[in-house]
Amino acid sequence: MTSGRAGITLNRVVQYHPSHLDATFAALADPTRRGILESLGRRDASITDLAAKFDITLTGIKKHVQVLERSGLVTTKKVGRVRNCSLGRRRLEEEVAWIARYRQMLEARLDRLGEFLERTKGTR
């Protein structure tokens, strides 16, 4: 199925729900941000601690944290002059469901390909 815009194909099996998916996948696309999440999974940390751990400037780490915060994956709280970071409350249910639907679609296509190859194996 093709939309009115040139070259954009929509799949009927995988429904696109842009609510949090775009922000979450964009946040997770960067290895530094994934590392920040892993670090915060072990313990909360200040912006300064994260900058030191990842050898990034304070400004750089703040930008990464802001992206994670907008996606709901991280929360921050200012205590005095220190901004502390912790994991957000989002548990990625929507993203996991999207990946599961996409995986089912791919597995169904591979199953059909396998069936086709079995049917045509003897005809060569």
Residue 67 pLDDT: 95
Residue 39's CB is within 10 A of a number of other CB atoms, namely 17
Give the Cα separation of 62 and 108 in Å (integer): 42
Residue 93 pLDDT: 86
- Contact (Cβ atoms closer than 8 angstroms) between residue 3 and residue 16: no
Residue 11: which pLDDT band, with cuts at 50, 70 and 90? very low
| R_g of the chain, CA atoms, integer Å | 21
Give the Cα separation of 11 and 108 in Å (integer): 14
| Token pair 């469901």 in the structure block, residue | 97
Residue 115 counted as domain residue: no
Residue 23 counted as domain residue: yes
Task: Please give the tally of structural domains in the chain.
Answer: 1
**Predicted model pTM:** 0.71
Output the six-digit token pair for 26.
Answer: 């964009």
Print the domain residue range for 31: 18-90
Residue 45 counted as domain residue: yes
State pLDDT tens for residues 63-98: 999 999 999 999 999 999 999 999 998 878 888 898
| Token pair 């960067």 in the structure block, residue | 30
In one letter, which amino acid is 20?
Answer: H
- Contact (Cβ atoms closer than 8 angstroms) between residue 72 and residue 89: yes
Residue 42 pLDDT: 96
Residue 35 counted as domain residue: yes
- Contact (Cβ atoms closer than 8 angstroms) between residue 107 and residue 13: no
What value does the mean pLDDT take over residues 117-122? 85
CATH, residue 29 = 1.10.10.10
- For residue 19, pLDDT over 70 is answered with no
Residue 118 counted as domain residue: no
Residue 7 counted as domain residue: no
Output the six-digit token pair for 81.
Answer: 């002059």
